[in-house]
Amino acid sequence: MFVRHPFERLASAYKERIATLEKDRIQPEPYYDDIRKFICQRYTHPNWVRSLLKKVHPCENFIPPFKHFVEFILTNTETSFGIARMDGHWQPYTVVCQVCKFKYNFIGKYETFNHDFNSLLKRLNVSDWNNEKRRGASGHNTWDYQQLFSSLPDNLICRLKRLYNDDFQLFNYRIEDYVNRTTLTC
């Protein structure tokens, strides 16, 4: 299996799935458009009332802020049932990949993908795999993602830290890679 820093996964899911409007996508993703609209309705325009006079919904072409996305994904994460129902793009790896139930014989990291993938190929004794042109990330970098987390209040950072704690521990990731706060106490 290959893993990715939990906060990078979360920020990437936001940028690619929520902060990209339908008109800007290569393929339609109505499921994520519905989530984006739901987040907008719930956190940005909770008092909006549909009427015959208002044919265009204010959330149709609105990108909710990262804070509202985080509030949405943290809903119902106090229970294992709530976490089990999360979307796979932001569900902790320890749940989606059932890390504690299966004995993985190889765990690579997205951050060192080229090196790790070559190691996997060697382990599998595969020499003719063309991995010259790997499809890379969406063009966003760590700094872009750090900016998203810098806008979050401490209480949301602490709740995210609790949600992804097992991923941080098992895969040796640090929260400080995306959150630069000396005063954060959870």
Q: What is the pLDDT of residue 111?
A: 80
Q: What is the pLDDT of residue 74?
A: 93
Sole residue written with tokens 């190929």:
121
pLDDT tens figures, 55-80: 667 778 888 999 999 999 999 888 88
pLDDT of 184 over the 70 cut: yes
Q: CB of 94 within 8 A of CB of 170?
A: yes
Over residues 176-186, mean pLDDT: 82
Confidence bin at 83 (pLDDT 50/70/90): confident
In angstroms, the CA 50 to CA 33 distance is 18
Sole residue written with tokens 């951050």:
111
DSSP 87-151: -TTTS-HHHHS-TTTS--S--EEGGGHHHHHHHHHHHTT------SS-----S--HHHHHHHHHT
In degrees and rounded to multiples of 5, residue 108 shows phi and psi of -105, 165
pLDDT tens figures, 4-24: 899 999 999 999 889 888 777
pLDDT of 147 over the 90 cut: no
pLDDT of 96 over the 60 cut: yes
Q: What is the pLDDT of residue 158?
A: 92
Q: What is the pLDDT of residue 136?
A: 46
Instruction: For residue 115, give the amino acid letter.
Output: H
Q: CB of 151 within 8 A of CB of 17?
A: no
This prediction's pTM = 0.80
Over residues 26-50, mean pLDDT: 82
Q: What is the pLDDT of residue 46?
A: 67
Non-local (6+) Cβ contacts of 82 within 8 A are 75, 76
Q: What is the pLDDT of residue 114?
A: 78
Over residues 42-54, mean pLDDT: 65
